[in-house]
Amino acid sequence: MDTFEPIIVAFCCHYCAYTAADMAGSMRLHYPPNVKIVRVPCSGKVDAIHIMKAFEKGADGVYVAGCLEGDCHFKNGNVKASRRVKYIKELLDEIGIGGERVEMVTMSAGMGPQFAKTAIEMTEKIRKLGPNPVKDMAAKRRRAVGQG
């Protein structure tokens, strides 16, 4: 499994993690290209279904990155997001995909190095877990739909 390169979707809040990612870039901090960033206006905007769809389409890991506690631009979007992540963890456990594939993290806009560190850690963790068990089927399904 040493050729396995996980695909990780990071839903990043515009006010913190997304800016932190920018900063990491300008600081020339290296972080793995496995992490695909999706910018969201607030981590609270990330719905459970978005996370599920990411896995359904073959992502190996997902994380939601929101502001530090108490710093949410919209009061408590980050708290809501972390509750949703917890719910999805249970759902993934129930269907045997594994709840540990999804995480909630928090950081501030100024934490460029933290962003890079999180991306590295998450990539390593998922690499160890191996591919999302529905990955192959997801690819097949995509092809089938493409042909149809």
Partner 1 sequence: MITAERKPLEEIIEYVRPFGKILLVGCNECVTVCSAGGRKEVGLLSSALQMAFMKEGKMLEIKEMTLERQCDPEYVEELSGHINQVDAVLSMACGCGVQEIAQRYREKPVFPAVNTKFMGASERQGVWSERCQGCGNCLLGLTGGICPVARCSKRLLNGPCGGSTKGKCEINPEIDCAWQLIWDRLKALGQEERYSDIIPAKDWRPSRDGGPRKIIREDLAS
Residue 95, interface with partner 1 (CB under 8 A)? Answer: yes
Residue 11, interface with partner 1 (CB under 8 A)? Answer: no
Q: Tell me which DSSP letter residue 89 carries.
A: H
- Stretch of residues binding partner 1 (CB under 8 A), selected from 10-18, 30-38, 52-60, 105-113: 52-60
Closest CA to 35 of 86, 105, 85, 95: 105
Instruction: Determine which residue in the list 11, 55, 63, 115 makes contact with partner 1, applying CB under 8 A.
Output: 55
Work out how close the CB of 44 gets to partner 1 at its nearest, in angstroms, rounded to a whole number: 13
DSSP-derived 3-state class of residue 66: strand
CA dist 61 and 55 (Å) reads 7
Does residue 66 contact residue 42 with C-beta atoms inside 8 Å?
Answer: yes
Residues that bind partner 1 (CB under 8 A): 47-49, 52-53, 55-56, 91, 94-97, 133-134, 137-138, 141
